[in-house]
Structure 1
Amino acid sequence: MLKSLNQWCFPAGMPLEEVMSVSSRAGFEAIELNLYAPDGVGFTLDTTAAEAEAIGRLARNYGLQLRSLSTGLMGRNPLSSPDASVREQGRRVVLKQLELAQLLGIDTVLVVPGVVNAETSYDQCYERSQRELVTLAGEAEKRGVRIGVENVWNKFLLSPLEMARYLDEIGSPNVRAYFDVGNVLLFGFPEHWIRILGERIVKVHVKDFKTAVGNGGGFVPLLAGDVNWAAVRTALQDIGYADTLTAEVSPYAGDPHQCAYDTSNQLDVIIGRK
């Protein structure tokens, strides 16, 4: 498995070359960049092909692979929205991810499928988001890129059995699972999810969580929470997963560079290199 970290592990606005330089020195093999609004650092909705290729060269210069592309824009533009214009904007975000991914040889884009809230019931979220993903699957297949559906705290897809069914019903080899280890700890065991989702998993996010806290304040640095990392590693090995483990942790307020070094060492332990 490869050590990777998300751009969010650094403070917002940090120059991309600094992000990559620190990541390389810290021993990471890959970095997961994000798609931002037009004023963001790195990939944005307005990024041209030439700009994207320059980012790809920068990553290669620092010895970093680009294997996945994330985004936070789906939170404001869920594919489950009752508003057709909001769903259209969500599709635009995913299509831009797919475009950039194909251009740079990135094999997976992360997509949060929808959110259950006061205006969108569980069944509506299921039906609308699945319908949108069926449409987007054709574009993903055409571009040779996979859509990785992530499990997040969106009150949706709360069981590995349901998530497996949801993906299987879409019926595309290019719509798979982007599994987040820490996000299921409050209501399940990540090692169980891994074995049930099995070969559907194409990418993995890692974060740690203290279940006694029970809210967003419970997310802690890797190895400091309640994830049974030995069980997670064994489960990933059992399903034959050998791709990136991408850390998604909050940057340190006191020294944002140190977070990368500590996370790299922690991933060595999780992967079994130490």
Structure 2
Amino acid sequence: MSVGVLAHLFGSLPYKELPAKVAASGFTHVQLALWKAIGDIDFSEPGNLSPGLAGAVGEQFDKNGVAISVLGCYVHLFDRDEAQRRRNVARFKELLRYARDFGAPMVAAETGRHGDGVYTDRDWAVMKATLEELAEEAEKRGVFVGLEAAQGHLVGTASELARMLEEVPSPNVGVVIDPGNLLTADNFARQNEVIEEAFALLGSRVIAAHAKDRMPLADGSLGTATAGLGAMNYELYMKLLNRYKPHVHIIMEEAKEHQMAQSKAYIEGIRGRV
């Protein structure tokens, strides 16, 4: 029932220093986004990974008792600029190829978004084709693609993610669930319904979970905070997570270093009793 953390919440550090800092903060696993968290190796473009480099990074985490539960890949998967999309796909596929060398079972991402939030049938078709390509690579490598729905993205709701999974029925595509990403100012008052629907549609496909908190703000918008400092129904979230996917890895988001211990204890405390 351990709670991990986004590695880049500690900043961008040399790969030999980062795992020790994570371990000293009480975490035993991380979501690692290479170009966000590791500062002494250039991961700005695909092409520089090798089994040796991935193994060296993974070994440093292992020495400190920290697993890499998720490799994070923050790229736009249906970019309307085809050249950029191909670069993004190449980056994601490179991570899939070397995930096992890092000791990671999955590479995860949101689908991406356009500024106007208006999407076309072509956008959906391109995203589907991208996911099919990534799924094929994941199947060859024996790892998973983790897909996360997020409001404002092409795949922004639980029902949209369920549809994408139905259209790309690969056993190597799973869900990174985050109810906080599904909540808006408009639906927050019925958050229980949103959370329950997400698990009803996606619960059997969950392979990792994110944890942050949300709360209404005075201006009518929805704010984001570290878990325990908002108004999200964590009792319900943890109850359903335990029911559908006991012991699935949880990765904490949106936490400053001085908040991490308290937030971790809050999540684990609820998860341990529901």
Q: Give the TM-score, by structure 2 length.
A: 0.85
Question: Distance in 1 between the 2:83 and 2:181 partners?
Answer: 29
C-alpha distance after superposition, 1:24-43 (max 9, x if no partner) = 23322211111328984568
Which residue of 44, 48, 51 maps to 1:49? 51
Q: Summarize the alignment of residues 136-155 of structure 1 with structure 2, pairs less than 5 Å apart.
A: 136-155=134-153
Question: Distance in 2 between the 1:173 and 1:5 partners?
Answer: 26
Question: Distance in 1 between the 2:30 and 2:10 partners?
Answer: 12
Q: For 1:262, what is the secondary structure of its paired residue?
A: helix
User: What is the aligned-residue RMSD (CA, Å)?
Assistant: 2.6
Question: Distance in 1 between the 2:152 and 2:109 partners?
Answer: 12
1:143: how far off? 0.2
Paired letter, 2:235: A
Contact 2:13 2:39 in 1 (8 A): no
Q: For 1:242, what is the secondary structure of its paired residue?
A: coil
Look up the match of 1:259: 259
1:168: how far off? 1.5
Q: For 1:5, what is the secondary structure of its paired residue?
A: strand
Q: Is 1:185–2:183 an aligned residue pair?
A: yes
Structure 2 stretches of 5 or more lacking a match? Answer: none
1:231: how far off? 0.4
1:119: how far off? 9.2
Q: For 1:36, what is the secondary structure of its paired residue?
A: helix
Paired letter, 1:71: C
Percent identity among equivalent residues? 24
Contact 1:82 1:120 in 2 (8 A): no
Q: Give the TM-score, by structure 1 length.
A: 0.85
Structure 1 stretches of 5 or more lacking a match? Answer: none
Look up the match of 2:102: 104
Question: Distance in 2 between the 1:118 and 1:230 partners?
Answer: 34
1:67: how far off? 1.6
Look up the match of 2:88: 90
1:170: how far off? 0.5
Q: For 2:139, what is the secondary structure of its paired residue?
A: helix
Change (3 A) 1:170 1:263: same
Q: Is 1:7–2:7 an aligned residue pair?
A: yes
